[in-house]
Amino acid sequence: MTELPASTQRKLGLVIDLDTCVGCHACVTACKGWNTENYGAPLADKDAYGAEPVGSFLNRVHSFEVQPESGPAQTVHFPKSCLHCDDAPCVTVCPTGASYKRVEDGIVLVNESDCIGCGLCAWACPYGAREMDPVEQVMKKCTLCVDRIYNENLPEEDRQPACVRTCPAGARHFGDLADPDSDVSRLVAERGGFDLMPEQGTKPVNKYLPPRPRDEDIDVLAPFLQPVAETPSGFLGWLDRALEKL
Amino acid sequence: MHPAASIIAFTTLSGIGFGLLAFLGLGFPRVEGMSAFAFFAIAYLLAVGGLVFSTFHLGHPERALKAFTQWRTSWLSREGWASVLTLVVMAIFAAPLVFFGLRLAPIGWLGALASIGTVYITSMIYASIRSVPRWHHWSTSAMFIAYALSGGALLSGQVTVAIAFLVLTGIGQFAAWKAGDARFAAAGSTAGTATGLGGIGKVRLFESSHSEGNYLTKEMVFVIARKHATKLRSIALVLAFAAPVALLLLPFHHVMAALAVLSHLCGVLITRWLFFAEAEHTVSLYYGRTAA
């Protein structure tokens, strides 16, 4: 049903650390790989080796430049996927009931066999989190790897979204954001996690952590970087003096 | 937004079709028998034809009947119900009128109300989308209804009413364009809020997430021919409103009336193309495109 639940028992989601993300796109690749080989229609590519390749992805990394009033500009790599909003506009617009938000964990999913491919949900999402598959013509979106996180056939450390599992920088965190004591909730509280486009009223579950301020604490290490020996001694010292005399 | 031909045809044709049905339901023109049949046939062809076009937009049209299930929340689902119910009510009104010359006036009035209601519900598919600030406004519904009434008056041959509606709709469209131009900025979404980095400084796309286009850029970051918007708006105003009004003011002739209808239809198609092509979606903020 496309009526949103009044509340969900848990709010599973991601916390993405914009300070730590190095923009390697490993999460993009891991996501595409897992979600092509597992739940739902594969994430197709068209004209993959041609002049104008297109394909569906559930996660993409954009890179932004932020120019403060003074000081150097900063590059921020910005992964973006479904935010599993509490007030998800993509769900309520769906005419067939293919889109829904789960009461038990808050994950927003698409029942692909009910999807008519009208694309209205993709329009309704302010973030561009939904993409129509170019081959299957059904709407694809992040499932929070629902087929991994509860999958008891996988080793326990693998029961998290593929993007989180693969991130080499530890920039992605998965957990229950409804539980104030969860690791992700504490991370959000400590680091000042924020919502994307709060003015759109979607109440996203996923949070982003801001980049830490730069160029302020760098002097902590500076003393350790002083040259150890000012003047050469021993054989090198003799060579140095001998060459000076020539 | 991508101006898909199927959706432009759908909103234009079904809008005019339901507009004509509204006038026929109210008894303008007061026709019976074969002439009533002709009027209703045109109205049904336009309304149903538009709806058929809308299914061309679907990735899985064979599942279209599922779209009737979520009327509690989805304007698109409500649109399906409203269209079918209106067409049924108008058929109950039209059949006795055509075959027995019997006018069940209250059913006609109900059908007229339902026709305008259907156009309103169609408009809400777009007006309810907050991520497209240009659409997310009551004027979207007002203009859809105004277009339906203008086209309906024109097709039903109500010359005086048609002139009045055409002039009002033309002025309304001009005002809606002007107001719509400022709405994206007024909604307050920027690259700063989209990334949450606006507090640090000015945010600019440094490198796109992919080198080629994708579904999002094709569907929602459509910018082609926006530079011609002013010219297209002028052409649309002339074709949709000025020319039909001028033709209607001339001594009545069926050729002139037909030309007025044709010109109006072409003009409305251009305004609908602009309705989509000029609509800026917030996802464009992630692609380095800002509202002009």
Task: Tell me what pLDDT residue B100 has.
Answer: 93
User: Cα–Cα–Cα angle for B227, B269, B292, nearest 5°?
Assistant: 25
Distance from A147 to chain B by nearest Cα, in Å?
25
Residue B66 counted as domain residue? yes
User: Which residue does chain A place closest to B57, by CA atoms?
Assistant: A118
**Parent domain of B103:** 5-287
What tokens does B92 get? Answer: 């109950």
Which of A120, A207, A209, A216 is the best mutation test for B, with the most CBs of B within 10 A? Answer: A120
Torsion angle, alpha carbons of A45, A48, A53, A55, to 10:
10
Task: Tell me what pLDDT residue B252 has.
Answer: 80
The residue among B204, B238, B219 whose CA lies nearest residue B283 is B219
Average pLDDT, chain A: 93
Residue B116 counted as domain residue? yes
- β-bridge partners, B202: A67
User: Which residue does chain B place closest to A75, by CA atoms?
Assistant: B206
Ordered by start, the domain boundaries in chain A are: 12-221
- Asked whether the beta carbons of residue B72 and residue A97 sit closer than 8 angstroms, the reply is no
Q: How confident is the model at residue A91 (pLDDT cuts 50, 70, 90)?
A: very high
Are the CB atoms for B79 and B125 separated by under 8 Å? yes
What tokens does A151 get? Answer: 């999958």
- Asked whether the beta carbons of residue B67 and residue A116 sit closer than 8 angstroms, the reply is yes
Please state, in angstroms and rounded to a whole number, the distance separating the CA atoms of residues A61 and B210. 8
Task: Tell me what pLDDT residue B80 has.
Answer: 95
Which pLDDT tens digit goes with each residue over A2-23? 889 988 999 999 999 999 999 9
Cβ neighbours of B18 (radius 10 Å)? 34
What mean pLDDT is predicted for residues A78-87? Answer: 97
Tell how far CA B278 is from the center of its chain.
Answer: 14
Number of domains, chain B = 1
Task: Tell me what pLDDT residue B174 has.
Answer: 97
Find all residues with CB under 8 Å of A136, minimum gap 6, and list them: A41, A42, A44, A112, B59
User: Cα–Cα–Cα angle for A179, A184, A186, nearest 5°?
Assistant: 80
Are the CB atoms for B92 and B107 separated by under 8 Å? yes
Q: How confident is the model at residue A226 (pLDDT cuts 50, 70, 90)?
A: confident
- Asked whether the beta carbons of residue B209 and residue A80 sit closer than 8 angstroms, the reply is yes
Task: Tell me what pLDDT residue A216 has.
Answer: 60
Chain A interface includes B56 (CB < 8 A): no
Question: Which region holds residue A34: left if phi is over 0, alpha if psi is between -120 and 50, else beta?
Answer: alpha
Task: Tell me what pLDDT residue A215 has.
Answer: 64
- Asked whether the beta carbons of residue A122 and residue B219 sit closer than 8 angstroms, the reply is yes
Residue B292 counted as domain residue? no
What tokens does A31 get? Answer: 């996501």
Interface of B with A in 204-233 (CB under 8 A): 204-210, 212-216, 218-220
Which of B7, B56, B57, B70 is the best mutation test for A, with the most CBs of A within 10 A? Answer: B70
Inform me whether the pLDDT recorded for A38 exceeds 90: no
- Asked whether the beta carbons of residue B66 and residue A96 sit closer than 8 angstroms, the reply is yes
What tokens does B132 get? Answer: 């497209």
First to last CA, chain A: 90
Distances in Å between the Cα of A161 and the Cα atoms of A25, A43, A101, A175, B76 are: 15, 16, 18, 10, 33
Check whether the bond before B29 is cis (ω within 30° of 0): yes
CATH of the domain at B254: 1.20.1630.10
If residue A110 lies in a helix (H) or strand (E), which one and from where to where? strand A108-110
Which pLDDT tens digit goes with each residue over A167-180? 999 999 999 999 99
Q: Which CATH number fits domain A12-221: 3.40.718.10, 3.30.70.20, 3.90.1150.10, 3.40.50.300?
A: 3.30.70.20
pLDDT, tens digit only, all 292 positions of chain B:
999 999 999 999 999 999 999 999 999 999 989 999 999 999 999 999 999 999 998 999 999 999 999 999 999 999 999 999 999 999 999 999 999 999 999 999 999 999 999 999 999 999 999 999 999 999 999 999 999 999 999 999 999 999 999 999 999 999 999 999 999 999 999 999 999 999 999 999 999 999 888 999 988 887 776 778 889 999 999 999 999 999 999 988 888 999 999 999 999 999 999 999 999 999 999 998 754 3
Could you say which DSSP state residue A213 is in?
P
Which among B74, B130, B202 is the nearest to A95, CB-wise?
B74
Are the CB atoms for A128 and B283 separated by under 8 Å? yes
Find all residues with CB under 8 Å of A62, minimum gap 6, and list them: A77, A78, A79, A80, B205, B207, B208, B209, B286
Which among B68, B70, B201 is the nearest to A67, CB-wise?
B201
Inform me whether the pLDDT recorded for A99 exceeds 80: yes
Which of A66, A70, A142 is the best mutation test for B, with the most CBs of B within 10 A? Answer: A66
Inform me whether the pLDDT recorded for A1 exceeds 50: yes
- Asked whether the beta carbons of residue A196 and residue B187 sit closer than 8 angstroms, the reply is no
Task: Tell me what pLDDT residue A2 has.
Answer: 80
Question: Which region holds residue B147: left if phi is over 0, alpha if psi is between -120 and 50, else beta?
Answer: alpha
If residue B87 lies in a helix (H) or strand (E), which one and from where to where? helix B75-100
Instruction: Label residues B122-160 b or e (16+ Cβ within 10 Å = b).
Output: bbbbbbbbbbbbbbbbebbbbbbbbbbbbbbbbbbbbee
SS3 B275: helix
- β-bridge partners, A81: A59
What mean pLDDT is predicted for residues A206-229? Answer: 78
Residue A220's identity, in one-letter code, is V
What tokens does B194 get? Answer: 């989209």
How large is the ipTM? 0.93
